[in-house]
Structure 1
Amino acid sequence: MTRFDSAKLIYVMGPSGAGKDSLLGFARERVGAHVMFSHRYITRAAADGENHIVLSHDEFASRLSYGLFAMHWESLGLCYGIGIELDAWLARGMPVVVNGSRQHAELALERYPDARFVHIDAAPSVLAARLARRGREDARQIEARLARRPAFELPAHAHVVKIDNSGMLADAGTQFLDLLALAGRA
């Protein structure tokens, strides 16, 4: 296992349906105040289990123009941002968890070279079932989403831990908490 004992930025990513929001919620309830969880701003209404701040496209563009995002990206017609409070927390020595994007992880690594990455995944059948329960896409769209799973690779020097969240949330959650406990001791 990659050691997270010097981690400050913990960048969580994985495909839709992998249970990232559930895993982050599980950890947030148990980790205490020694680890911060970044705010994520999205131009989409909040749904079950998601923890983000809803912005209109105009609000997002305005915040972006004022430099209020430490990181930002677009995906499937939506805008995502991580607020600049991330940098203030890191400057004060706080470990910070970010709910990020696989497609933008390399940009995060460029900006935060000491970042640690946690790739959450689940078996394809589990992903399909979770996406169907979520109800944002029809069966055809879910099938297309699962078929286009992009290859994911970070440079060899990046610190990446993979967690399979196909089973019980508590199992994956315990693995994630162990990583955060190491980060909190740094």
Structure 2
Amino acid sequence: MKMAPVIAVVGPSGVGKDSVIQALLARVPNFERVRRVITRPHGEGGEDFDRVSDRMFQTMVQDGSFVLYWAAHGLQYGIPVAITEQRQRADAVLVNLSRAVLPEAQKEFRELIVISLTADPKVLAQRLAVRGRESAADQARRLGRATAALSEGLNHVIEVDNSGSLDATVETILSGLQPERAYR
């Protein structure tokens, strides 16, 4: 059975990954979002995710519940094995990934498309401040990592500046995914 591609949306904190994913889902009927498992503390929002404790996360790792997992920003993130079922029924699955796990994701999923979002540093700083999830020191650390390069050897990367309108970003992404296919 043919598996749909995994579209990894990556970029620095505040670049608008979740907004872009939501806009793509609204625009393309048979795209699905992968719901991540995160050890984010109660009271912290963000995307729609499954919140678990550190202990539960480690149990899930031991039980083989994830096809991919990593640590970032003091939290643990996991992509559930259910992504395989999603890939069997959708045209593509969208997932917010860390840039650091892209080589592992490419090995795991084979059909990996990377949407690498960037934005003007002033825009990133403003978005992080409005989000209000991190202290000023944490925001500064995140902004310091904003220009981290992607790993070498990724098969399909679409780079998009998300400093402007969300509609313009989505148009750029859709035209870069498969120009011959009508996502409009």
Could you state the TM-score of these two structures normalised by the residue count of structure 1? Answer: 0.84
1:140 paired with 2:125, answer no
- Counterpart in 2 of 1:121? 118
Q: Which of 9, 13, 16 is residue 16 of structure 1 equivalent to?
A: 13
8 A contact 2:9–2:116 mirrored in 1? yes
Figure out how many residues of one structure are paired with residues of the other and give that number. 179
Letter in 1 for 2:6: L
* 1:112 to partner: Cα distance: 2.1
1:72-87 matches, within 5 Å, as: 72-87=69-84
Sort the Cα spacing of 1:177 and 1:148 in 2 relative to 1 into closer, same or farther, 3 A: closer
Sort the Cα spacing of 1:93 and 1:25 in 2 relative to 1 into closer, same or farther, 3 A: closer
Cα RMSD (Å): 2.6
Distance across 2 between alignment mates of 1:146 and 1:65: 33
For residues 62-89 of structure 1, the C-alpha deviation after alignment (integer angstroms, 9 at most, x for no partner) is 2211111111101121010111111223
- Counterpart in 2 of 1:99? 96
Sort the Cα spacing of 1:62 and 1:25 in 2 relative to 1 into closer, same or farther, 3 A: same
SS at match of 2:157: strand
Distance across 1 between alignment mates of 2:137 and 2:57: 30
Aligned residues: percent identity? 35
Higher RCO structure (Cα 8 Å, ≥6 apart): 1
SS at match of 1:81: strand
SS at match of 1:158: coil
Distance across 2 between alignment mates of 1:42 and 1:184: 34
Sort the Cα spacing of 1:170 and 1:135 in 2 relative to 1 into closer, same or farther, 3 A: same
* 1:29 to partner: Cα distance: 2.2
- Counterpart in 2 of 1:3? none
- Counterpart in 2 of 1:70? 67
SS at match of 1:67: coil
* 1:48 to partner: Cα distance: 5.1
1:169 paired with 2:169, answer no
Q: Which moved more, 1:110-119 or 1:13-22?
A: 110-119
